[in-house]
Chain A
Amino acid sequence: GDSVTQMEGPVTLSEEAFLTINCTYTATGYPSLFWYVQYPGEGLQLLLKATKADDKGSNKGFEATYRKETTSFHLEKGSVQVSDSAVYFCALSAGSSNTGKLIFGQGTTLQVKP
């Protein structure tokens, strides 16, 4: 079945460091791909998405490119801030037979130190 694998955390970075969180997926068809972020004490909120191969999603300085050849959707940010400390989830939504449900990775905790 469809699945998402993220790099294990926690990831600890200093402010202004470069961030990469790896995400790979297995899916039949042509899924849409998402990154969600969960700040402490809150639910998940959409960070960015990409719906087809080679699409780049971007938001708040974060970017991710849908790479069909490597089945990957890695999250990157050039310069992280303390306020980016959160749990990041990669997710996919399957194609035509889907009813809107998402399949999530296990989440990666990011801690940014001043």
Chain B
Amino acid sequence: DVKVTQSSRYLVKRTGEKVFLECVQDMDHENMFWYRQDPGLGLRLIYFSYDVKMKEKGDIPEGYSVSREKKERFSLILESASTNQTSMYLCASGILTLYNSPLHFGNGTRLTVT
């Protein structure tokens, strides 16, 4: 089974802090994604990556950056956390170019910014 592991289930950070959310997958998938989940808004794509050191902006990249130094690891960075970034963050991985291949999700990190 594919395993996507997010390093933290819950995080509480203060406004202005730099926050790192880590994600690791064990299936050698090329694609990795960060989504944000908010009630009534579903999942919105923040950033994705289809190769090491490659990244593409999703629909809501403002206030976020990402890093992919190794194929299995994809990090989401909040440069200066703000209260409107309080949310559930979901990491996913998938196979490049197979558009009908499903994504595999981690269990999520619930981030609270105070």
Contacts and interface: CB of A to CB of B under 8 A. Distances in A.
B56 interface: yes
Interface residues on B, range: 20 to 34
Nearest to B30: A100
Contacts of B108: 42-43
Contacts of B43: 44, 89, 102, 104, 107
A94 interface: yes
Contacts of A105: 42
A76 to B, nearest CB: 20
Nearest to A46: B102
B75 interface: no
Contacts, number: 71
A107 B112 CA distance: 21
A101 B42 contact: no
A100 B99 contact: yes
Interface residues on A, range: 20 to 34
Contacts of B44: 104
A58 interface: no
Contact of A32 (B4, B42, B92, B100): B100
A100 B94 contact: yes
A45 B102 CA distance: 9
B45 interface: yes
B31 A99 contact: yes
A41 B106 CA distance: 11
A44 B105 contact: yes
Interface in B53-99: 56, 58, 90, 92, 94-99
Given A44-B92, A99-B48, A100-B95, 4 more contacts: A43-B106, A44-B90, A51-B100, A99-B56
18 contacts: A36-B105, A43-B4, A43-B90, A43-B105, A43-B106, A43-B107, A43-B108, A44-B105, A45-B105, A49-B100, A49-B102, A93-B100, A94-B99, A99-B97, A100-B50, A100-B101, A101-B48, A103-B45
